[in-house]
Amino acid sequence: MRRLNARTRLNSKSKLMDPIKLHIRSNARSGLFARNPKTGTHSSCLIFASVLIALAFLLSYAFFSGKSSPDAARIKFGIVIDGGSTGTRIHVFKYRLEGGNNAVFDFGKDGLVSMRVNPGLSSLAEDSHGAGQSLLKLLEFGKSKIPMESWKDTEIRLMATAGLRLLQENVQQRILESCRRVLRSSGFKFRDEWASVITGSDEGVYAWVVANYALGTLGGDPLRTTGIIELGGASAQVTFVSTEEFPAEFLRAVRLGNTTYNLYSNSFLHFGLNAAHDSLREALITGDFNLATQSLQKGLPIDPCSPKGYSRNVESQKISPSSTNNENRYQSTLQSRGNFSECRSAALMLLQKGKEKCSYQHCDMGSTFIPRLQGKFLATENFFYTSKFFELGPSAFLSELMTAGQEFCEEDWSNLKKKYQSNDEEDLLRYCFSSAYSVALLHDSLGVALNDERVKVAKQVGSIPLDWALGAFILQSTADASHGLYLGGGSLN
Ligand X SMILES: *[C@@H]1O[C@H](CO)[C@@H](O)[C@H](O)[C@H]1NC(C)=O
Would the annotation count 331 as a binding residue? no
Rounded to a whole number of angstroms, the minimum distance from the CB of residue 217 to ligand X is 15
Dihedral sign computed on CA atoms, order 362, 366, 369, 375: negative
Q: Near ligand X by CB under 6 A, which window of 46-54, 227-235, 339-347, 436-444?
A: 339-347
Cα separation, 208 vs 471, whole angstroms: 7
- Positions in 392-431 near ligand X (CB under 6 A): 410
Instruction: Compare residues 19 and 119 and give the one whose CB is closer to ligand X.
Output: 19
DSSP secondary structure of 230-287: EE-SSEEEEEEE--S---GGGEEEEEETTEEEEEEEEEEET-SHHHHHHHHHHHHHHT
Cα separation, 167 vs 425, whole angstroms: 27
Cα separation, 365 vs 370, whole angstroms: 8
Rounded to a whole number of angstroms, the minimum distance from the CB of residue 346 to ligand X is 11
Choose among 97, 93, 95, 94: nearest CA to 71.
97
Instruction: Compare residues 345 and 423 and give the one whose CB is closer to ligand X.
Output: 345
Instruction: Compare residues 133 and 259 and give the one whose CB is closer to ligand X.
Output: 259
Rounded to a whole number of angstroms, the minimum distance from the CB of residue 258 to ligand X is 4
What is the CA 28 to chain-centroid distance, rounded? 25
3-state secondary structure of 447: coil
Exposed e or buried b per residue across 439-455, where buried means at least 16 C-beta atoms within 10 angstroms of its C-beta: bbbbbbbbebeeebeeb
Would the annotation count 406 as a binding residue? no
CA angle 442, 434, 83 (to 5 degrees): 95
Instruction: Compare residues 405 and 488 and give the one whose CB is closer to ligand X.
Output: 405
Does position 258 interact with ligand X (CB under 6 A)? The reply is yes
Identify the active-site residue in 98, 169, 203, 244: 203
Would the annotation count 236 as a binding residue? yes
Rounded to a whole number of angstroms, the minimum distance from the CB of residue 459 to ligand X is 32
3-state secondary structure of 38: helix
Cα separation, 341 vs 432, whole angstroms: 11
Binding residue (CB under 6 A) for ligand X from 4, 16, 62, 292: 292
Does position 342 interact with ligand X (CB under 6 A)? The reply is yes
Dihedral sign computed on CA atoms, order 269, 273, 275, 280: positive
User: Contact, 446 vs 230, CB < 8 A?
Assistant: no
Size of the site for ligand X (CB under 6 A): 8
Instruction: Compare residues 176 and 343 and give the one whose CB is closer to ligand X.
Output: 343
Rounded to a whole number of angstroms, the minimum distance from the CB of residue 441 to ligand X is 20
Rounded to a whole number of angstroms, the minimum distance from the CB of residue 150 to ligand X is 34
Binding residue (CB under 6 A) for ligand X from 27, 101, 217, 341: 341
Would the annotation count 235 as a binding residue? yes
Choose among 316, 40, 37: nearest CA to 171.
40
Cα separation, 120 vs 116, whole angstroms: 10
Q: Near ligand X by CB under 6 A, which window of 122-130, 164-172, 336-344, 394-402?
A: 336-344
Residue 149 annotated as catalytic: no
> Can you name the residues that pair with 169 across neighbouring β-strands?
none
Would the annotation count 237 as a binding residue? yes
Instruction: Compare residues 198 and 343 and give the one whose CB is closer to ligand X.
Output: 343
Instruction: Look at strands 155-160 and 74-83 and give their pairing.
Output: parallel
Q: Near ligand X by CB under 6 A, which window of 268-276, 337-345, 416-424, 429-437?
A: 337-345
Query: Could you give the residue numbers annotated as active site?
Result: 203
Output the known binding site for ATP: 233-237
Using CB under 6 A as the criterion, which residues of the chain lie in contact with ligand X when the complex forms? 257-258, 292-293, 339, 341-342, 410
Output the known binding site: 233-237
